[in-house]
Amino acid sequence: MTNPQQVAVLGGGSFGTAIANIAASNGHKTYQWMRNKERAAKVQQARENSEYLPGYKLSDNLTACADLQEAVGSADVVFIAIPSKSFREVTQLLAPILKSGTMVISTTKGIEPSGFTLMSQVLEQELNDARIGVLSGPNFAKEIVAHQQTGSVIASEDEELISCIQELLCSSTFRLYANSDRYGVELGGALKNIYAIVTGLATALGCGHNTIAMLLTRSLAEMGRFAKHLDADPLTFLGLAGVGDLILTCTSDLSRNYRLGMAIAQGQSLQQAEADIGQAVEGVNTLRLVKQKADELGVYMPLASALHGILFEDYSIGDVADKLMGGEQNNDVEYSQKNL
Protein backbone atom coordinates (compact mmCIF):
# COMPACT_ATOMS: atom_id res chain seq x y z
CA MET A 1 0.00 0.00 0.00
CA THR A 2 1.14 3.57 -0.69
CA ASN A 3 1.61 5.96 2.24
CA PRO A 4 -1.80 6.51 3.86
CA GLN A 5 -3.66 9.41 2.25
CA GLN A 6 -6.70 11.36 3.37
CA VAL A 7 -9.33 10.90 0.69
CA ALA A 8 -12.62 12.67 0.02
CA VAL A 9 -15.30 11.46 -2.37
CA LEU A 10 -17.95 14.01 -3.27
CA GLY A 11 -21.24 12.35 -4.17
CA GLY A 12 -23.51 9.85 -2.48
CA GLY A 13 -24.38 7.72 -5.50
CA SER A 14 -23.37 4.19 -6.33
CA PHE A 15 -20.04 4.84 -8.06
CA GLY A 16 -18.89 7.39 -5.48
CA THR A 17 -19.70 4.90 -2.75
CA ALA A 18 -17.80 2.12 -4.53
CA ILE A 19 -14.67 4.25 -4.98
CA ALA A 20 -14.83 5.55 -1.42
CA ASN A 21 -15.12 2.02 -0.07
CA ILE A 22 -12.10 0.80 -2.06
CA ALA A 23 -9.95 3.64 -0.74
CA ALA A 24 -11.16 3.09 2.83
CA SER A 25 -10.65 -0.67 2.60
CA ASN A 26 -7.08 -0.01 1.44
CA GLY A 27 -6.35 1.76 4.74
CA HIS A 28 -6.84 5.39 3.69
CA LYS A 29 -8.91 7.66 5.92
CA THR A 30 -11.85 8.39 3.63
CA TYR A 31 -14.76 10.81 3.79
CA GLN A 32 -17.82 10.55 1.55
CA TRP A 33 -19.64 13.85 1.26
CA MET A 34 -23.38 14.03 0.55
CA ARG A 35 -25.56 17.13 0.32
CA ASN A 36 -28.40 15.56 2.31
CA LYS A 37 -27.63 15.52 6.06
CA GLU A 38 -30.24 12.90 6.85
CA ARG A 39 -28.96 10.51 4.20
CA ALA A 40 -25.34 11.00 5.25
CA ALA A 41 -26.28 10.29 8.88
CA LYS A 42 -28.23 7.18 7.84
CA VAL A 43 -25.30 5.82 5.81
CA GLN A 44 -22.87 6.56 8.63
CA GLN A 45 -25.00 4.80 11.22
CA ALA A 46 -26.07 1.81 9.11
CA ARG A 47 -22.64 1.35 7.42
CA GLU A 48 -24.55 0.84 4.17
CA ASN A 49 -25.76 3.06 1.31
CA SER A 50 -29.18 1.44 1.21
CA GLU A 51 -30.52 3.78 -1.49
CA TYR A 52 -27.88 3.01 -4.13
CA LEU A 53 -25.98 -0.10 -3.00
CA PRO A 54 -28.23 -2.03 -0.61
CA GLY A 55 -26.75 -5.06 1.09
CA TYR A 56 -23.08 -4.05 0.89
CA LYS A 57 -21.31 -3.25 4.16
CA LEU A 58 -19.03 -0.23 4.12
CA SER A 59 -15.55 -0.13 5.59
CA ASP A 60 -15.22 1.17 9.13
CA ASN A 61 -12.55 3.50 7.73
CA LEU A 62 -15.19 5.37 5.69
CA THR A 63 -17.00 8.37 7.18
CA ALA A 64 -20.17 9.67 5.53
CA CYS A 65 -20.83 13.35 6.22
CA ALA A 66 -22.63 16.45 4.91
CA ASP A 67 -19.93 18.93 5.97
CA LEU A 68 -17.78 19.79 2.94
CA GLN A 69 -15.06 21.41 5.06
CA GLU A 70 -14.76 18.28 7.19
CA ALA A 71 -14.55 16.11 4.08
CA VAL A 72 -12.03 18.03 1.97
CA GLY A 73 -10.24 20.52 4.23
CA SER A 74 -7.30 18.19 4.86
CA ALA A 75 -7.73 15.88 1.87
CA ASP A 76 -4.77 14.82 -0.25
CA VAL A 77 -7.03 13.35 -2.94
CA VAL A 78 -10.58 14.36 -3.89
CA PHE A 79 -12.81 12.34 -6.23
CA ILE A 80 -15.85 14.13 -7.66
CA ALA A 81 -18.64 11.68 -8.47
CA ILE A 82 -21.75 13.77 -9.06
CA PRO A 83 -24.02 14.38 -12.11
CA SER A 84 -22.62 16.80 -14.68
CA LYS A 85 -25.41 19.33 -14.15
CA SER A 86 -24.15 19.96 -10.57
CA PHE A 87 -20.44 19.56 -11.25
CA ARG A 88 -19.44 23.22 -11.60
CA GLU A 89 -21.52 24.32 -8.61
CA VAL A 90 -19.86 21.76 -6.34
CA THR A 91 -16.41 22.58 -7.74
CA GLN A 92 -16.99 26.24 -6.89
CA LEU A 93 -17.89 25.26 -3.32
CA LEU A 94 -14.73 23.17 -3.19
CA ALA A 95 -12.32 25.84 -4.46
CA PRO A 96 -11.91 28.04 -1.33
CA ILE A 97 -11.37 25.14 1.08
CA LEU A 98 -9.13 22.91 -1.02
CA LYS A 99 -5.56 22.40 0.19
CA SER A 100 -2.87 23.60 -2.25
CA GLY A 101 -1.66 20.86 -4.59
CA THR A 102 -4.54 18.50 -3.89
CA MET A 103 -5.17 15.82 -6.50
CA VAL A 104 -8.72 16.23 -7.85
CA ILE A 105 -10.13 13.37 -9.92
CA SER A 106 -13.34 13.58 -11.93
CA THR A 107 -15.36 10.38 -12.31
CA THR A 108 -18.32 12.15 -13.96
CA LYS A 109 -19.21 11.04 -17.50
CA GLY A 110 -20.84 14.07 -19.02
CA ILE A 111 -20.43 17.40 -20.80
CA GLU A 112 -21.41 20.89 -19.65
CA PRO A 113 -23.55 22.74 -22.23
CA SER A 114 -21.75 26.06 -21.95
CA GLY A 115 -18.83 25.89 -24.37
CA PHE A 116 -19.06 22.09 -24.72
CA THR A 117 -16.95 21.80 -21.57
CA LEU A 118 -15.61 18.50 -20.24
CA MET A 119 -15.55 17.98 -16.49
CA SER A 120 -11.77 18.20 -16.18
CA GLN A 121 -11.94 21.50 -18.06
CA VAL A 122 -14.38 22.74 -15.43
CA LEU A 123 -11.78 21.78 -12.82
CA GLU A 124 -9.13 23.71 -14.76
CA GLN A 125 -11.35 26.78 -14.84
CA GLU A 126 -12.46 26.74 -11.20
CA LEU A 127 -9.46 25.39 -9.26
CA ASN A 128 -6.24 27.40 -9.24
CA ASP A 129 -3.72 24.99 -7.77
CA ALA A 130 -5.13 21.50 -8.13
CA ARG A 131 -3.57 18.51 -9.87
CA ILE A 132 -6.24 17.15 -12.20
CA GLY A 133 -7.10 13.66 -13.40
CA VAL A 134 -9.98 11.64 -14.81
CA LEU A 135 -11.17 8.17 -13.82
CA SER A 136 -13.29 6.35 -16.39
CA GLY A 137 -13.94 2.86 -17.66
CA PRO A 138 -16.40 -0.05 -17.87
CA ASN A 139 -17.39 0.10 -14.22
CA PHE A 140 -20.77 -0.83 -12.76
CA ALA A 141 -20.65 0.00 -9.08
CA LYS A 142 -22.70 -3.02 -8.03
CA GLU A 143 -20.09 -5.34 -9.51
CA ILE A 144 -17.18 -3.38 -8.00
CA VAL A 145 -18.54 -3.68 -4.46
CA ALA A 146 -19.33 -7.35 -5.12
CA HIS A 147 -15.57 -7.80 -5.75
CA GLN A 148 -15.92 -8.83 -9.37
CA GLN A 149 -12.77 -8.33 -11.47
CA THR A 150 -12.84 -4.79 -12.84
CA GLY A 151 -10.50 -2.59 -14.88
CA SER A 152 -10.59 1.17 -15.26
CA VAL A 153 -8.42 4.05 -16.54
CA ILE A 154 -6.77 6.93 -14.70
CA ALA A 155 -5.89 9.70 -17.17
CA SER A 156 -3.70 12.73 -16.56
CA GLU A 157 -0.64 14.51 -17.90
CA ASP A 158 0.68 14.26 -14.32
CA GLU A 159 2.55 10.94 -14.09
CA GLU A 160 2.96 11.18 -10.31
CA LEU A 161 -0.81 11.61 -9.93
CA ILE A 162 -1.39 8.52 -12.07
CA SER A 163 0.95 6.43 -9.93
CA CYS A 164 -0.62 7.68 -6.71
CA ILE A 165 -4.19 6.88 -7.79
CA GLN A 166 -3.16 3.47 -9.13
CA GLU A 167 -1.71 2.57 -5.73
CA LEU A 168 -4.54 4.21 -3.81
CA LEU A 169 -7.28 2.15 -5.47
CA CYS A 170 -5.41 -1.01 -6.40
CA SER A 171 -6.93 -4.20 -5.02
CA SER A 172 -7.15 -7.87 -5.89
CA THR A 173 -10.31 -7.13 -7.92
CA PHE A 174 -9.85 -3.52 -9.11
CA ARG A 175 -7.08 -2.58 -11.55
CA LEU A 176 -6.24 0.85 -13.00
CA TYR A 177 -4.50 1.42 -16.31
CA ALA A 178 -2.72 4.68 -17.21
CA ASN A 179 -3.44 7.08 -20.07
CA SER A 180 -2.11 10.59 -20.75
CA ASP A 181 -5.00 11.48 -23.12
CA ARG A 182 -7.30 13.00 -20.52
CA TYR A 183 -9.77 14.51 -22.99
CA GLY A 184 -9.99 11.31 -25.03
CA VAL A 185 -10.75 9.26 -21.92
CA GLU A 186 -13.41 11.77 -20.86
CA LEU A 187 -15.00 11.84 -24.29
CA GLY A 188 -15.16 8.05 -24.33
CA GLY A 189 -17.02 8.04 -21.03
CA ALA A 190 -19.50 10.66 -22.22
CA LEU A 191 -20.11 9.61 -25.82
CA LYS A 192 -20.79 5.92 -25.15
CA ASN A 193 -23.98 6.89 -23.30
CA ILE A 194 -25.51 8.03 -26.60
CA TYR A 195 -24.90 4.67 -28.21
CA ALA A 196 -26.19 2.76 -25.18
CA ILE A 197 -29.56 4.38 -25.89
CA VAL A 198 -29.26 3.26 -29.52
CA THR A 199 -28.48 -0.37 -28.66
CA GLY A 200 -31.12 -0.50 -25.94
CA LEU A 201 -33.64 0.65 -28.51
CA ALA A 202 -32.43 -1.90 -31.06
CA THR A 203 -32.51 -4.75 -28.56
CA ALA A 204 -36.07 -3.97 -27.51
CA LEU A 205 -37.09 -4.01 -31.17
CA GLY A 206 -35.80 -7.57 -31.47
CA CYS A 207 -32.68 -6.85 -33.52
CA GLY A 208 -30.27 -9.78 -33.73
CA HIS A 209 -26.63 -10.19 -32.83
CA ASN A 210 -25.51 -9.13 -36.30
CA THR A 211 -27.25 -5.79 -35.88
CA ILE A 212 -25.90 -5.15 -32.40
CA ALA A 213 -22.35 -5.98 -33.52
CA MET A 214 -22.68 -3.54 -36.41
CA LEU A 215 -24.08 -0.81 -34.16
CA LEU A 216 -21.29 -1.20 -31.61
CA THR A 217 -18.57 -1.09 -34.24
CA ARG A 218 -19.99 1.90 -36.11
CA SER A 219 -20.58 3.66 -32.79
CA LEU A 220 -16.88 3.29 -32.05
CA ALA A 221 -16.06 4.76 -35.47
CA GLU A 222 -18.28 7.78 -34.77
CA MET A 223 -16.72 8.31 -31.35
CA GLY A 224 -13.20 8.29 -32.77
CA ARG A 225 -14.15 10.58 -35.66
CA PHE A 226 -15.71 13.11 -33.30
CA ALA A 227 -12.85 12.94 -30.79
CA LYS A 228 -10.24 13.62 -33.48
CA HIS A 229 -11.95 16.92 -34.28
CA LEU A 230 -11.58 17.86 -30.59
CA ASP A 231 -7.84 17.04 -30.58
CA ALA A 232 -8.18 13.79 -28.66
CA ASP A 233 -6.38 10.65 -29.80
CA PRO A 234 -8.82 8.32 -31.63
CA LEU A 235 -6.66 5.36 -30.61
CA THR A 236 -7.66 6.02 -26.98
CA PHE A 237 -11.03 4.57 -27.97
CA LEU A 238 -9.47 1.15 -28.45
CA GLY A 239 -8.89 0.91 -24.70
CA LEU A 240 -11.03 0.37 -21.61
CA ALA A 241 -12.35 3.94 -21.55
CA GLY A 242 -13.49 3.59 -25.17
CA VAL A 243 -14.45 0.18 -26.53
CA GLY A 244 -14.49 -1.38 -23.05
CA ASP A 245 -16.99 1.11 -21.66
CA LEU A 246 -18.95 1.05 -24.91
CA ILE A 247 -19.44 -2.72 -24.78
CA LEU A 248 -20.45 -2.67 -21.12
CA THR A 249 -22.92 0.19 -21.36
CA CYS A 250 -24.43 -0.94 -24.65
CA THR A 251 -25.15 -4.54 -23.64
CA SER A 252 -26.43 -4.46 -20.06
CA ASP A 253 -29.72 -3.46 -18.48
CA LEU A 254 -27.73 -2.20 -15.50
CA SER A 255 -27.07 0.82 -17.72
CA ARG A 256 -29.63 3.61 -17.31
CA ASN A 257 -29.01 4.78 -20.88
CA TYR A 258 -29.58 1.28 -22.27
CA ARG A 259 -32.82 0.97 -20.26
CA LEU A 260 -34.00 4.32 -21.57
CA GLY A 261 -33.51 3.13 -25.15
CA MET A 262 -35.51 -0.01 -24.42
CA ALA A 263 -38.32 2.05 -22.90
CA ILE A 264 -38.49 4.35 -25.95
CA ALA A 265 -38.73 1.33 -28.27
CA GLN A 266 -41.58 -0.03 -26.13
CA GLY A 267 -43.59 3.15 -26.66
CA GLN A 268 -42.79 5.32 -23.67
CA SER A 269 -42.15 9.01 -24.13
CA LEU A 270 -38.72 10.37 -23.24
CA GLN A 271 -40.20 12.08 -20.17
CA GLN A 272 -41.90 8.87 -18.99
CA ALA A 273 -38.75 6.82 -19.46
CA GLU A 274 -36.57 9.29 -17.56
CA ALA A 275 -39.11 9.48 -14.72
CA ASP A 276 -39.31 5.69 -14.43
CA ILE A 277 -35.53 5.33 -14.27
CA GLY A 278 -35.44 7.91 -11.49
CA GLN A 279 -31.76 8.88 -11.83
CA ALA A 280 -29.82 11.12 -14.20
CA VAL A 281 -29.60 9.66 -17.72
CA GLU A 282 -26.50 11.45 -18.97
CA GLY A 283 -26.85 10.26 -22.57
CA VAL A 284 -29.91 12.44 -23.23
CA ASN A 285 -28.13 15.70 -22.47
CA THR A 286 -24.93 14.47 -24.14
CA LEU A 287 -26.84 13.65 -27.32
CA ARG A 288 -28.19 17.21 -27.60
CA LEU A 289 -24.74 18.70 -27.13
CA VAL A 290 -22.91 16.29 -29.43
CA LYS A 291 -25.43 16.70 -32.26
CA GLN A 292 -25.06 20.47 -32.09
CA LYS A 293 -21.26 20.29 -31.94
CA ALA A 294 -21.04 17.71 -34.74
CA ASP A 295 -23.17 19.91 -36.99
CA GLU A 296 -20.99 22.89 -36.13
CA LEU A 297 -17.77 20.99 -36.92
CA GLY A 298 -19.14 19.10 -39.91
CA VAL A 299 -18.53 15.67 -38.36
CA TYR A 300 -20.42 12.77 -39.95
CA MET A 301 -22.30 11.00 -37.11
CA PRO A 302 -25.28 9.15 -38.62
CA LEU A 303 -26.18 7.10 -35.53
CA ALA A 304 -26.16 10.10 -33.19
CA SER A 305 -28.15 12.12 -35.74
CA ALA A 306 -30.67 9.31 -36.13
CA LEU A 307 -31.20 9.01 -32.37
CA HIS A 308 -31.58 12.77 -32.10
CA GLY A 309 -34.30 12.56 -34.74
CA ILE A 310 -36.16 9.87 -32.78
CA LEU A 311 -35.95 11.56 -29.38
CA PHE A 312 -36.35 15.22 -30.31
CA GLU A 313 -37.65 15.54 -33.88
CA ASP A 314 -40.54 13.03 -33.99
CA TYR A 315 -38.87 10.77 -36.55
CA SER A 316 -40.27 7.26 -36.71
CA ILE A 317 -37.91 4.45 -35.74
CA GLY A 318 -38.68 2.54 -38.95
CA ASP A 319 -37.90 5.48 -41.23
CA VAL A 320 -34.65 6.17 -39.38
CA ALA A 321 -33.54 2.53 -39.68
CA ASP A 322 -34.25 2.51 -43.43
CA LYS A 323 -32.33 5.74 -43.89
CA LEU A 324 -29.32 4.43 -41.98
CA MET A 325 -29.12 1.26 -44.07
CA GLY A 326 -29.34 3.32 -47.25
CA GLY A 327 -26.68 5.78 -46.19
CA GLU A 328 -23.05 6.23 -47.15
CA GLN A 329 -20.90 3.07 -47.14
CA ASN A 330 -17.67 4.43 -45.72
CA ASN A 331 -14.31 2.88 -44.79
CA ASP A 332 -14.51 0.20 -42.13
CA VAL A 333 -11.36 1.27 -40.25
CA GLU A 334 -10.62 4.98 -40.53
CA TYR A 335 -7.60 5.06 -38.25
CA SER A 336 -5.62 2.10 -39.51
CA GLN A 337 -1.86 2.55 -39.84
CA LYS A 338 -2.34 3.02 -43.59
CA ASN A 339 -4.68 5.98 -43.07
CA LEU A 340 -2.78 7.73 -40.26
Give the residue numbers of the binding site: 11-16, 35, 52, 109, 137, 141, 192, 245, 255-257, 282
Contacts of residue 75, defined as CB under 8 A and 6 or more positions apart, other chains included, come to 6, 7, 8, 31, 98, 99, 102
Spatial distance between the Cα atoms of 293 and 296, rounded to a whole number of angstroms: 5
Strand partners, 154: 135, 178
Q: Output the known binding site for sn-glycerol 3-phosphate.
A: 109, 137, 192, 245, 255-257
Spatial distance between the Cα atoms of 230 and 81, rounded to a whole number of angstroms: 24
Spatial distance between the Cα atoms of 199 and 262, rounded to a whole number of angstroms: 8
User: One of 192, 228, 291, 323 is an active-site residue; which one?
Assistant: 192
Exposed/middle/buried for residue 251 (C-beta within 10 Å: 0-12, 13-18, 19+): middle
Active-site residue, 29 included: no
- Give the helix/strand (H/E) hosting 175: strand 174-179
β-strand 131-136 against 150-155: which pairing, if any?
antiparallel
Of the candidates 211, 177, 210, 218, the one whose C-alpha atom is nearest the C-alpha of residue 194 is 218
Contacts of residue 209, defined as CB under 8 A and 6 or more positions apart, other chains included, come to none
Spatial distance between the Cα atoms of 2 and 28, rounded to a whole number of angstroms: 9
Note the helical H segments in the chain.
Answer: 14-25, 37-46, 68-72, 84-94, 119-126, 141-145, 159-169, 182-204, 209-229, 245-250, 256-265, 270-277, 282-297, 302-312, 317-325
Q: Output the known binding site for NAD(+).
A: 11-16, 141, 256
Q: Please give the positions annotated as active site.
A: 192
